[in-house]
Chains A and B, each alone.
Chain A
Amino acid sequence: MEKLLFKDIDEPGLNTIDVYRRRGGYERLRKALAMPREAVLNELLASGLRGRGGAGFAMGKKVSFLPKGAMDVYLCCNADESEPGTFKDREIMQKNPHLLIEGIIIAAYAAGANKAFIYIRGEYVLQADILDAAIAEAYAAGFLGENILGSDHSLSLVVHRGAGAYICGEETALLDSLEGKRGNPRLKPPFPANQGLYQGPTLINNVETLSTVPFIIEMGGEEYAKLGVENSTGTKLVSISGHVKRPGNYEIELGMRSRDIIYGLAGGPPDGRKVKLWFPGGSSSPVLTGSDEDLDLPYDFDTMAKAGTMLGSGAIIVVDDSTSVVEVAYKTAYFYRHESCGKCTPCREGTNWTLKMLDRIRKGEATPMDLDIIASVCENIMGHCLCVLGDAMAMPVSSMVKKFRAEFEEEIERRRQEADLASAMPEPELPLIQGAVA
């Protein structure tokens, strides 16, 4: 397969404008600006490109939802990339920042936006510095600023660094954070397309989504749509991590057999071990198992949905049989408990409760009945929250309890016995919640 996003990705100096332009960079921008806005939008619609940030919403459609009028339209690039297992946006920004910038300028042109922001997670210090340098180059070369390449399209682009909250990747929390407020999700509707940043219409897309835009312009939407499978067009960056021999980012054509990704590209688990379970789309996706049935699933949006999970951000985390499912569930819940913003009840209380129950299993203080309560609590979280962070814990945890119930029960029993033996040894407490006493 011919690579798009990762073509020349390891070429030294690709992050500088000179090398990027020598590789054809910013020619797609020139081409787009020579087209009417509607034509650019039509290419995006024709490409069938679905958002790469997690929700998989058709990008062209999102652009077409923006109201037309005289008001300021904003574009926000979501570079918060905090979903455990996901590290693809980092590679793009670090190695090929101009691709993202070119994509942003073209998308902003289609959307009628003239103020753009890249909201990048605070930990990506290096990548933010690289982006800042690249943006300065782009301004100097006239690709950003007033009347880009002599057209009527003007765009300012600013990198905004987050302060370390997963929830700020949720699009409305991102907007609040960008506005200088506490990063809490907003009630939807209104959707950002109508009332987003500073109440203005706002297009929010993931780094990878926006970085794909130049290729759609280059190839034409229809041509791009020929890649991949129906309803999951194009190529996708997959971040593979966990128990595989060659973890990393791979660009695949959507619809590839999952086994070929995990075993073919990433080399499968270390010799002698078997895949126990895998997260197909980041830690918030319900897990699949190492069964042939699951491993043979084509890796695309619809198939994953049909299998009861999701493609999400395209982050595959592989867990082999050396690891207890209890630990995986605990780590997952720990993350979401820690990252819950606390605004809505089911997520705030439910993640905290679930974690405490899982911790009791680990400490040998649980009974199988606790598994029923965990399942029920997850059920009570799902679909009841203000944003889907609550579901992001409930879905994988409940899928693990459901698919590995027997192992959970064995672990409960085993750890109870261990705990009885070790009862004299005090376990370290869970870290105290800050601000609380006792």
Chain B
Amino acid sequence: MPRPEIKMITFSIDGREVQAPENTMLVDAAKYGDVEIPVFCYEPKLGQPVGACRMCLVEIEGIPKLQTACSTPVKDGMVVHTQTQRVHEAQEAVVEFLLLNHPLDCPVCDKGGECPLQDISFGWGGGRSRFVEPKRHFQKPLELSPLIAIDRERCILCYRCVRYSQEVSEDYQLVLQERGAASYVATFDGHPYVAPFSGNIVELCPVGALTSKPYRFRARPWDIEGAGTVCTMCPGQCNVTLTVRDDRVLRVLARDHEEVDDGWLCDRGRFAYQSFHVDERITSPLVRVDGELRPVPWDHALDVAADALKRAGGAVGALAGGGTTNEEGFLLQRIAREALGSPHLDSQRAPVDRRSLLAIGDPGLQATVPDIEYAHAVLVLDTEPVDEMAILDLRIRKGVRRRRVRLAVASARPSALDGNAALSVRFAPGGGPAFAAELVAAARGEAASDDARAVVDLLRGAGEDVVIVASERVGAALAALADALGLRDRDGAGLIVVPSSANGRGLREVGVLPDAGPGLAPVARPGLHAAEMARAGAEGELTAFWLHGVDPLRDLPYRERWEQALDRATDVIAHAAFLTEGIREHATVVFPVEAYAEKDGTLTHPDGRLQRVRPGIGLQGRNRYGWQVLADLGRRLGLELRVLTAGMALAEVAAAVPFYAGLTQDEIGGRGIRWQEREAASAYPRPEGLPDLAAPTVREGAGLRLGTFRSIWASPEVEHSPALRFLVPRQRVEMAPADADRLGLGDGQRVVVSANGSRVEATVTLRHAVPAGSVFLQDGLVRDAANTLTGSVVEIRPAVTSEVAG
């Protein structure tokens, strides 16, 4: 959809002629003339203005009544006054009204010092109150949720939080109860407000009515500093400002970036900072001595690791994931390839070959995050945004709600976005690539299933600008589909490919792949991909593993094989923040990984935006920078590395990846830059055709087909953040009521799910939207994770009490 054109007009404000874009609300237009109009309820991120607080009243010539500047679009020739007696009196009156029942307990209020109500009272209030009556009282503070406290006495009823819940996150939990002066914010049913994006209301609240429980009473605005960086907990890479006091992160706020996060954060990104400062963090190198991991001096750990890697040489399998930066990934692959002579590198959960990656990463097919909002249609294909790239969920909702984007969802598991979709279709678990191939056929006018045709018809019917948000695992068919839909080189259309880890795209582009080097260049001798490494390790072909930000037992499929591989390996060198099972049981050397708040490096967003992760706090404990650790290892292994700073590490990356050529930290800056928009983008390798699209057929069988997903809450950061711990998921099996009936199972029942003799325990969750024949289990759990199962067709039977006990 073409973005609205911006026409500048001239209007007069307080006697000065000012140019502003036509139809912007007066509040914003006034800023072009350096005039500030006070607001409380106005927040454009929430959609249309509501005109509730009446703080922004101004005088417009030709209109008898004062008008709300937040809801009056500026027109050419308008004459506006914000400094007349009338306006002053009205503004003073509104401040007086708002303060009538406000407790003015600023000295003990978290918002004090950064509170719009304070600021506006000083700037526009009359400085007196004539109210002698008793104020309104509520019990306070109450737990709105385990994460948020609500103080209803401080609430000025601006509606922001309620509008957010209703119109942005669409969880519909917050409401106003009662009416008039008795109104108060509450949840619809009185249950706690628990939702993936709930924390945003704390930032939206213009007073101290909503406060973050983990932050309450931790600091005052004058003893904190803000540090801008990027959240590395998922591919969303939201821009954040860390609130730092005494070298500790006490809070994470959104650092509004319209092209990345639109100013929102998920609750994991907002609250998991707690995990930066817990005792369980590894903050010293560890080496296994007599079966036990023990803290050792850095040099010793580096020597042991270097020796181990050298010993294994070409038999090292290296994996990178989590928040691994471009610099770290690049150094890792250089060391593996050049110093160790091992081609076995991977950063993907499911293998997608180089030619496919080349095709789906092509700049001509690339969409940007804002494109989602302005597209005619969006297809969400084989991914669940809220779990895999959380912040996109809100962007898709925004597009549908505010710009009438037509949404189609094609997935195995019912999606949180189904309610917003014009069309939702389901395929069998694992059927993403096959369904994509069908979509290609449908788009080309070839024979295809009804579902595939319906999706293509919907996309085509909506208009030319289609954005496809899809999981990386769908692979090559995505490029074919984009081409068949005519999206190539279309502004505002194309692909957003969600990788399996936060910097999946960056790791790919700097060469952490078995069949591609930096810049997706072909390699002479392709190595094994992750799943093959597991097999090779189990069979003794690979003798050492080098894990950067990955714990295969937790993060990758084929847990059993990985257990065998890690068990059999002579050495396992891990860079990790927490001793998750695979690391705890199998690592021989562990290097501490910085929290992103300590990190220095760059990431590549799924839409190609390079972003800087910048240290907001000093290195904790005996931590060192990841790039530094790798450079030290590289040197010990005989590599010449001119890497003395993170900037120099980036220079190495930029020199090796042709389409990153010349990138510097300064150029990336605080807002990032999309490499596709730089000249060097022309150096992107030409696509080399696609592999055969004959997609893997979904295995038919008698049993139930197993699909897996990883919840946004299934991560070590969540487990180690006390405030978030209540969200740590337990295994449950989602199934259709019909299947449950057939098996005599009921909602909430404990069951054993088994395949090929492997088994996990779970609790039955009945979901009407799950198609019969499919069941879903979660990955990434500490216990009973789906990757424990060795087959994709499962049996489910009630757990026997003795089994539970045993």
Contacts and interface: CB of A to CB of B under 8 A. Distances in A.
A61 interface: no
A373 to B, nearest CB: 5
A1 interface: no
Interface residues of A, number: 36
Nearest to B97: A349
A383 B181 CA distance: 19
Contacts of A167: 179
A426 to B, nearest CB: 16
Contacts of B137: 436-438
Interface in B157-192: 157, 159, 175-184
Interface string B55-98: 10100000001101001000000000000000001100110111
B54 A345 contact: yes
Contacts of A437: 137-139
B670 interface: no
Contact of B66 (A341, A343, A384, A386): A384
A376 B93 CA distance: 9
A376 B130 CA distance: 11
Given A346-B94, A349-B98, A341 B138 contact: no
Contacts of B49: 187
A187 B25 CA distance: 14
B50 A384 contact: no
A165 B49 CA distance: 24
Contacts of A349: 97-98, 100-101, 181
A433 B181 contact: yes
B133 interface: yes
B217 interface: no
B42 to A, nearest CB: 11
Contacts, number: 112
B53 interface: yes
B277 interface: no
A340 B176 contact: no
Nearest to B158: A345
B51 A352 contact: no
Nearest to A382: B65
A171 to B, nearest CB: 16
A346 B180 contact: no
Contact of A344 (B51, B130, B177): B51
B296 interface: no
B180 A352 contact: yes
A338 interface: yes
Contacts of A187: 48-51, 68, 71
Contacts of B641: none
B52 interface: yes
Contacts of A344: 51-54
B184 to A, nearest CB: 5
Contact of A386 (B54, B97, B139, B157): B54
B133 A348 contact: no
B622 interface: no
A345 B181 contact: no
Contacts of A433: 136, 178, 181-182
Contacts of B93: 346, 380, 384
B97 A345 contact: yes
A211 interface: no
Contact of A350 (B51, B97, B133, B157): B97
A337 B94 contact: no
Nearest to A433: B182
Interface in B96-133: 96-98, 100-101, 130-131, 133
Nearest to B50: A187
A182 B175 contact: yes
A352 B57 contact: no
A344 B131 CA distance: 19
A435 to B, nearest CB: 5
Nearest to B133: A356
B74 to A, nearest CB: 15
A322 interface: no
Contact of A343 (B55, B136, B156, B159): B159
B47 to A, nearest CB: 12
A373 B130 contact: yes
Nearest to B186: A435
Contacts of B57: 384
A386 B50 CA distance: 9
A434 interface: yes
A438 B183 CA distance: 16
Interface string A361-396: 000000000000100100010011110000000000
Contact of A340 (B48, B96, B181): B181
Nearest to B95: A345
Interface string A119-156: 00000000000000000000000000000000000000
Interface in A179-202: 182, 187
Contacts of B65: 383
B285 to A, nearest CB: 56
A342 B176 contact: yes
Contacts of A352: 100-101, 180-181
Contacts of A435: 138, 177-178, 182, 184
Contact of A345 (B94, B176, B179, B184): B94
A238 B768 CA distance: 57
A345 B139 CA distance: 22
A356 B55 CA distance: 23
B138 A348 contact: no
Given A346-B94, A353-B131, A380-B93, A386 B180 contact: no
Nearest to B40: A345
Nearest to A186: B50
B153 to A, nearest CB: 9
A352 B49 CA distance: 25
Nearest to B49: A187
B181 A346 contact: no
A434 B182 contact: yes
A434 B178 contact: yes
A385 B55 CA distance: 11
Nearest to A339: B180
A350 B133 CA distance: 13
B181 A351 contact: yes
A85 to B, nearest CB: 21
Interface in A391-438: 433-438
A350 B97 CA distance: 7
A437 B183 CA distance: 13
Contacts of B100: 349, 352-353
Interface string B703-714: 000000000000
Contact of A380 (B68, B90, B136, B139): B90
B137 to A, nearest CB: 4
B90 A348 contact: no
A347 to B, nearest CB: 8
Nearest to B91: A384
A346 B180 CA distance: 11
A340 B65 CA distance: 21
A356 B100 CA distance: 12
A45 to B, nearest CB: 26
Interface in A316-358: 337-346, 348-353, 356-357
A438 B152 CA distance: 14
20 contacts: A339-B180, A340-B179, A342-B180, A342-B183, A344-B53, A345-B52, A345-B156, A345-B157, A348-B183, A349-B98, A350-B97, A351-B181, A352-B181, A353-B133, A356-B133, A376-B130, A380-B89, A383-B66, A386-B52, A437-B138
Given A187-B50, A380-B89, 18 more contacts: A187-B49, A187-B71, A340-B180, A342-B176, A342-B179, A342-B181, A346-B94, A348-B180, A348-B181, A349-B101, A353-B131, A353-B133, A380-B97, A433-B181, A433-B182, A436-B182, A437-B138, A437-B139
Interface of B: 48-55, 57, 65-66, 68, 71, 89-90, 93-94, 96-98, 100-101, 130-131, 133, 136-139, 156-157, 159, 175-184
- Please provide the 8 A-B residue pairs with the shortest distance between their CB atoms, ordered closest to farther: A380-B93, A340-B180, A352-B181, A342-B183, A349-B97, A433-B182, A438-B137, A187-B51
